[in-house]
């Protein structure tokens, strides 16, 4: 448990420092309600993808989900194309929203099942499998949309998920926190969570203990896919259009968030609360670079450097160096 607390404290400290730094640089404008709301609104779509990456990594055995953003875009695009055939997004706003959200979640779930099936039934390595499905999903979105943006418009209540607030917090952010809590609870208290973590940390022991390995992996990727679908819904809610190439850099950022959160790439360990903190920290940093007037390219550079730094921190266990165990 020592490592867990250390990682958590470091992430919390980073968040506080970034908020302070932002306030200092911008004379307090960084902490204005408007800026905080806008930053919180940008976290969910990428945070959900990061949770998906984390789950796949925890499953061990080279688990990783590279198809997240591709599946999120496919969910949005395909659902928008199908639903628009039956319902107008201007006349029947409520029905359109409900069908669109339902469609995107189902497509995400099915996409996740495809990944899970290919990995468990056909024994394809997760990296290769999700690399292939990433291309296939993106290709499918290009085909159904003809390569163009698909109009979703701003039907209520879909649009309010992306643009309205409850008690001052963006609804999308509340959705994200609720979903993260649910997934976290499932990991902590359900047999699924225990099977996932234990089989990730020692696949052989899990096999001999009689864990339902295939079912666990299947459920992991299906859950990751559903989270992608939800991310697709939030992307559609925040933007008027959905397009196949939205968020090209999200793949790296999702992995970066997971690694920053201390998720072990070889499997068996990861905490949802750290992923949430790490996603928020990354958003703070991104906004900070914007406030500093730096270009997007500097941000790319910073992300790369940051990912490598956190890999180094994990490797040399710098966290427990900074926070030594007091009991010893």
Partner 1 sequence: MTLFSTGKARTAERDGDRLGFAGFVHKYPETVTAALLVVICVVVAILNPDFLQPSSLIDIGRASVVTGLFALGVFVILAAGGIDVSFTAIAALTMYSITLLTTSYAPGLPMVLVLAMAVGGGVLLGMFNGFLVYNFGVPAMIVTIGTQYLFRGILLAFVGTVWIMALPEQMLTFGRAPMVQFTNSNGAVVTLPLYVLVLPAAAVLTWWILNRTLMGRAIFAMGGSARVAERLGYNLRTVHLFLFGFAGALAGLAGIIHVSSNRLANPFDLVGTEINVIAAVVLGGARITGGTGTVIGTLLGVLLVTVINNVLVMVGIPSTWQRFVVGTFILLAAAFFVVRQRRN
Interface residue with partner 1 among 62, 157, 184, 203 (CB under 8 A) is 62
Residues from 93 through 122 that contact partner 1 (CB under 8 A): 118, 122
CA-based radius of gyration for the chain: 20
Which H/E stretch holds residue 166?
Answer: strand 165-166
Interaction between residue 123 and partner 1 (CB under 8 A) = yes
> In 3D, which of 153, 264, 258 has the Cα closest to residue 202?
264
B/e letters for 291-326, b = 16+ CB within 10 Å, e = fewer, are eeeeeeeeeeeebeebbeebeebbeeeebeeebeee
Over the window 252 to 281, marking each residue x when it contacts partner 1 by CB under 8 A and - when it does not, the resulting string is x--xx--x-----xx---------------
Minimum distance from residue 314 beta carbon to partner 1 (Å): 8
Q: C-alpha distances in angstroms, 313 versus 186, 282, 307, 309?
A: 28, 17, 10, 6
Output 89 or 138, the one with its CB closest to partner 1: 138
Distance in Å, CB of 185 to partner 1, minimum: 28
Beta bridge partners of 232: none
The H helix count followed by the E strand count for the chain is 14, 4
- Binding mask 204-243 toward partner 1 (x if CB under 8 A, else -) reads ----------------------------------------
Residue span binding partner 1 (CB under 8 A) among the ranges 10-18, 22-30, 150-158, 302-310: 302-310
Considering beta carbons, is residue 121 or 188 the nearer one to partner 1? 121
Cβ(285)–Cβ(256) under 8 Å? Answer: no
Which residues are paired to 170 by β-bridges?
165
> Which of 15, 26, 120, 125 is close enough to bind partner 1 by CB under 8 A?
125
In whole angstroms, the minimum distance from the beta carbon of 112 to partner 1 comes to 15
- Give me the DSSP letters along 187-223: HHHSHHHHHHHHHHH-HHHHHHTT--HHHHHHHHHHH
- Determine the Cα–Cα distance for residues 202 and 225; give it in Å rounded to an integer: 24
x/- track of binding to partner 1 for residues 129-168 (CB under 8 A): x-xxxxxxxxxx-xx--xx---------------------
180 Cβ neighbours under 8 A, 6+ residues apart: 47, 51, 272, 273, 275, 276
Q: CB-wise, 125 or 160, nearer to partner 1?
A: 125
Binding-site member from 315, 326, 327, 328 for partner 1 (CB under 8 A): 315
Contact positions toward partner 1, by CB under 8 A? 62, 64, 118, 122-125, 127-129, 131-140, 142-143, 146-147, 248, 251-252, 255-256, 259, 265-266, 295, 297-305, 307-308, 311-312, 314-315
């Amino acid at each position: 448990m020592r490592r867990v607390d250390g990682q958590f404290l470091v992430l919390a400290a980073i968040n506080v420092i970034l908020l302070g730094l932002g306030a200092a640089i911008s004379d307090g404008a960084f902490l204005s309600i408007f800026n905080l709301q806008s930053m919180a609104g940008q976290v969910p779509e990428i945070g959900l993808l990061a949770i998906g990456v984390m789950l796949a990594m925890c499953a061990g055995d080279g688990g990783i989900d590279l198809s997240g953003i591709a599946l999120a875009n496919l969910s949005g695009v395909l659902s928008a194309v199908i639903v628009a055939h039956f319902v107008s997004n201007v006349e029947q706003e409520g029905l359109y929203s409900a069908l669109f959200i339902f469609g995107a979640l189902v497509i995400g779930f099915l996409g996740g099942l495809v990944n899970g099936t290919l990995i468990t039934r056909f024994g394809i390595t997760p990296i290769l499998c999700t690399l292939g499905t990433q291309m296939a999903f993106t290709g499918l979105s290009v085909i159904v949309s003809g390569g163009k943006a698909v109009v979703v418009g701003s039907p209520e209540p879909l649009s309010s998920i992306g643009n309205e607030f409850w008690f001052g917090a963006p609804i999308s952010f509340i959705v994200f926190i609720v979903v993260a809590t649910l997934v976290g609870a499932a990991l902590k208290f359900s047999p699924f969570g225990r099977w996932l973590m234990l089989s990730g940390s020692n696949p052989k022991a899990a096999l001999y203990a009689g864990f339902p390995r295939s079912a666990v992996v299947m459920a992991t990727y299906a859950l990751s896919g559903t989270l992608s679908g939800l991310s697709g819904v939030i992307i559609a809610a925040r933007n008027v259009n959905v397009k196949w190439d939205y968020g090209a850099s999200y793949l790296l950022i999702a992995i970066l968030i997971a690694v920053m959160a201390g998720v072990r790439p070889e499997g068996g360990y990861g905490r949802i609360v750290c992923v949430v903190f790490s996603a928020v920290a990354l958003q703070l940093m991104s906004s900070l670079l914007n406030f500093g007037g730096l270009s997007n390219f500097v941000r790319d550079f910073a992300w790369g450097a940051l990912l490598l730094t956190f890999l180094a921190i994990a490797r040399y266990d710098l966290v427990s160096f900074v926070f030594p165990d007091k009991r010893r």
